[in-house]
Structure 1
Amino acid sequence: MAQLSGHPVGPPPCAPERERTSHLLLRAYAVLVVFSGLAYSWWYNLLGPIGVAALLGVLTAATLGIWIPRIARSRGDEAFSWRSLPWAALGYLTLALVSVTWSEWPSATATTWVVLVSFTVQGLFLASSLTWTELVRALESALRWIMGLSLIMEAAVALVLRRPLMPNFFPLDGEPDAHWYWVRGNLFDAVLIGPRIQGIVGNSNLLGFLCVIALIVFAASLRQAVLGRRAREAIAMHIAWIVLTAWLMLRAGSATAFVSGAVCVAILVIALVTRSQSTSLGRARAYAIFGAIVASCALTVALTYDRILTLLGRSEGLTGRDGIWEAVTARAVERPVFGHGFSSPWVPWHEAFDGWIVDHSITVFQAHNMWLDVFLQLGAVGVALIAIIFGGAVWRSWFFAVDRPRWDARSDHPYSPLSLLPLLVLWALLTQGMTESNPIMLWGWMLVTAFSFKLVASPVLAYPESAGPRRSRRRVFPSPARTDLP
């Protein structure tokens, strides 16, 4: 007969098992890799093209030196999952390499392909070497460094230097176009809405979008901390980083970031409502309702497009992007099947791109639309591969977010807040891809590759035991007479 007791029945508390130093170093290195990827333009503005190429080579060699022995040593359940590799992404990588045979800019194709391979390797390395929780922690730490350094650098330029800072610390020659500046030094010119800041990445649009990614990661970590009953100081620190990031996002003033953030909020609401449905019929109704809402919103946007651009302060052809799209489209349709050859980003000093499209006295190095960019480079075949890559990743991330985790016979395991993160980040990248080409190159491609691999290799994210529901200290345990019960 079960007896009610106020005495705890669990084992006495003890310190958790200490992590190996090698794994702690691996996690620290992962933070460096993520930071270097997300803040790639910081290194470019700091070290120049030769310096950043050397850094990229060193990090790639270090990653391979760490990763290959780990793959060779892996056995049993921890063996490397070759079948889980994102084969569509690797197919796109192969097509980009093969395009050198018909490319109009073969040297640019070879150069940028090496860069693409480097970021692909980093994405696969992160996904295979870290757990979901560790991957999120690496993202969180790297984004904290970016947000914190952006604030420090903007403040230092505004208070100490007191003039704009040029990339690679070039001396100011007259008053060049403001788009040339690394940091403009206008952090304290307004409180909320005012002159746009650029942070350590040297670009307002990029800083704004990184703020969107940071808000997703920080919010998920905050929810995890609250449910895990972390100390008040830790929760307060999470909130402080969210407030700082939201302020930097406002000061960056990126319309793309605002739209991406709005889309992520909508996707979050849809995912949470879908989670709450316990039957297939309930989910079907939710899908039908949200499908109708999305269709209505799309129709409204199409009918009021010009007014929306005016509200966002981008009434003049999306800040010149329409002219870029027209020029790229006119060139892309000349070779609609396989394109003119891979180059992401465009190499601005190559004769094929130097002076082709100029905006604010700067040679443009992307089409400012990832689909159009792929169509120019790899034609309809490349567009189909990118659609498969993003479509598969979004499909898996959706069910990763809305389906309850199952690793045994139970069907009532609680959701983890971190399971929403891949879905929201991928949708943010897709939204950004309408006006930027970042999702198909550099750090955007690294994130897509990492999530595509991780969602297949580790399709279940277990809820941490420490974050489970609160339970009473009173326990019911079997009577000593019932020896047949565990």
Structure 2
Amino acid sequence: MIFSLFLPSFGVHQPGGWGEPRWVGYWRGIYTHKNSLGNTASFALLMFAIFSKYVVKSTVFRRVTLIAVGMCLFGAASSTGLIVALVMVATSIGFSLLLNARRGTRPLILGSAFFFIVLAVVAAIPTLSVVFELLGKEPNLTGRVPIWSTLLPWALERPLLGFGFSSFEQAMLPRYFALTGEKLVNAHSGYLETFISFGYLGLAILAAVLISFVRNVVYLLQRQSPYERLLLPFAVAIYVGVLCSNITESFFLAYSSIHGVIFAIAYILVAVSRSATTASVVQRASHTKSLQLAVPQQVPISARK
């Protein structure tokens, strides 16, 4: 925010600066692009709006930082960052409410909510073009849909193992530049870029990691886990945010990506919590069995005779 307000030659897109000319005047802060600022601010909004009260004692500091984060989010005018921020905040609040339900019903409620959300998204797809026009946005997601339709047939030339890690610049960029005259930094989709780099094998590994995260969360929902009211809403909100942000941006394989780091932290949190919960369950079961063995069994009178 300081760079954007007081050092605009660095913190705001300039006509001769790096990046697309159409972003002139938008905030980018210390980042090279407004979308980087918007996506980083989305995670900061989640942490300072919902979870900072558990860590930061100063109410003034929390509120000032939250205002600064909000200014960066709106100054960057990153639609992806704003949508992801709202989705993560809503997810964390909804998951906190879910924890008030009985443990046996939690997975059912979570599965039903996911089903209705998917149904609502599918039903809303026909009206998205109208919504984009009202917001002043392009229906093709700021040119991303044409990029995907161009890159996907090329990616299908090596569908099993892909072109290799960090191969976008060598395998895709020259062909796309020769066709359109536009230089791309990435595929603008983490899922598509994973497919380009590692093919179906990469997508299968990515799906296995994402499904493993869900399994850990469901396991914790069914059992008494430590710090669940803080850990689970935070980790699940991060998970949903990473899933959403990678639809329109390439973060899974990006260098120095805050998304990759924060998703790794969320995964470690739920994995360690599951291990601790499992150890606690085993310990309680062992303790109960020891007590049962220690209590002398009553022999029936008929058996004594």
Q: TM-score range by the shorter chain?
A: 0.7 to 0.9
Q: Partner letter of residue 155 of structure 2? A: A
Give the match for residue 315 of structure 1.
138
- Under a length normalisation based on structure 2, what TM-score does the superposition of the two structures give? 0.76
Give the match for residue 124 of structure 2.
301
Q: Work out which of the residue numbers 260, 264, 267 in structure 1 matches 2:88.
A: 264
Give the match for residue 390 of structure 1.
210
CA drift at 1:454 = 4.1
Q: Work out which of the residue numbers 236, 249, 265 in structure 2 matches 1:436.
A: 249
CA drift at 1:311 = 3.6
Q: Is 1:381–2:201 an aligned residue pair?
A: yes
For the 8 Å contact 2:34–2:78, the answer to whether it is kept is yes
1:440 counterpart SS class: coil
Aligned CA distance change for structure 1 residues 163 and 457 (closer, same or farther; 3 Å) = closer
Give the match for residue 224 of structure 1.
54
Q: Work out which of the residue numbers 414, 419, 424 in structure 1 matches 2:237.
A: 424
For the 8 Å contact 1:177–1:361, the answer to whether it is kept is no
For the 8 Å contact 2:177–2:183, the answer to whether it is kept is yes
Question: What does 1:28-427 align with in structure 2 at a 5 Å threshold?
Answer: 151-158=1-8, 176=16, 179-180=19-20, 186=25, 196-225=26-55, 230=57, 234-281=58-105, 283=106, 286-287=109-110, 289-343=112-166, 346-347=168-169, 350=170, 353-354=173-174, 356-357=176-177, 363-397=183-217, 404-406=224-226, 415-427=228-240
Q: Is 1:448–2:272 an aligned residue pair?
A: no
1:318 counterpart SS class: coil
CA drift at 1:208 = 0.7
Structure 2 unaligned residues grouped into runs of 5+: 278-305
For the 8 Å contact 2:213–2:267, the answer to whether it is kept is yes
CA drift at 1:285 = 5.7
Cα separation, 2, equivalents of 1:308 and 1:358: 34
Q: Percent identity?
A: 19
Q: Partner letter of residue 224 of structure 1? A: Y
For the 8 Å contact 2:103–2:221, the answer to whether it is kept is no
1:304 counterpart SS class: helix
1:341 counterpart SS class: coil
For the 8 Å contact 1:260–1:431, the answer to whether it is kept is yes
1:270 counterpart SS class: helix
Aligned CA distance change for structure 1 residues 401 and 154 (closer, same or farther; 3 Å) = farther
Structure 1 unaligned residues grouped into runs of 5+: 1-150, 167-174, 187-195, 407-413, 463-486
- Larger % of helix: which? 2
Cα separation, 1, equivalents of 2:76 and 2:10: 19
Cα separation, 2, equivalents of 1:445 and 1:225: 23
For the 8 Å contact 2:128–2:139, the answer to whether it is kept is no
Aligned CA distance change for structure 1 residues 331 and 351 (closer, same or farther; 3 Å) = closer
2:247 counterpart SS class: coil
Q: Deviations over 1:133-180 (max 9, x none)?
A: xxxxxxxxxxxxxxxxxx22122333xx599777xxxxxxxx548735
- Under a length normalisation based on structure 1, what TM-score does the superposition of the two structures give? 0.50
Q: Deviations over 1:16-58 (max 9, x none)?
A: xxxxxxxxxxxxxxxxxxxxxxxxxxxxxxxxxxxxxxxxxxx
Q: Partner letter of residue 44 of structure 2? A: A
May I ask how many residue pairs the two structures share in their alignment? 274
For the 8 Å contact 2:238–2:266, the answer to whether it is kept is no
1:433 counterpart SS class: helix
Aligned CA distance change for structure 1 residues 386 and 289 (closer, same or farther; 3 Å) = closer
For the 8 Å contact 2:12–2:28, the answer to whether it is kept is no
For the 8 Å contact 2:5–2:11, the answer to whether it is kept is no
CA drift at 1:419 = 4.0
Higher relative contact order (CA 8 A, sep 6+): 1
For the 8 Å contact 2:88–2:240, the answer to whether it is kept is yes
Cα separation, 2, equivalents of 1:163 and 1:388: 39
1:343 counterpart SS class: coil
CA drift at 1:358 = 7.9
CA drift at 1:427 = 1.1
Cα separation, 1, equivalents of 2:83 and 2:248: 11
CA drift at 1:361 = 6.5
Give the match for residue 51 of structure 1.
none
Give the match for residue 46 of structure 1.
none
Cα separation, 2, equivalents of 1:450 and 1:278: 27
Give the match for residue 283 of structure 2.
none
Cα separation, 2, equivalents of 1:359 and 1:208: 30
For the 8 Å contact 1:393–1:455, the answer to whether it is kept is yes
For the 8 Å contact 2:162–2:198, the answer to whether it is kept is yes
CA drift at 1:352 = 5.7
Cα separation, 2, equivalents of 1:206 and 1:402: 37
For the 8 Å contact 1:218–1:238, the answer to whether it is kept is yes
CA drift at 1:321 = 0.8
For the 8 Å contact 1:221–1:238, the answer to whether it is kept is no
CA drift at 1:221 = 3.7
Cα separation, 2, equivalents of 1:200 and 1:223: 26
Give the match for residue 294 of structure 2.
none
Cα separation, 2, equivalents of 1:388 and 1:327: 27
Aligned CA distance change for structure 1 residues 432 and 155 (closer, same or farther; 3 Å) = same
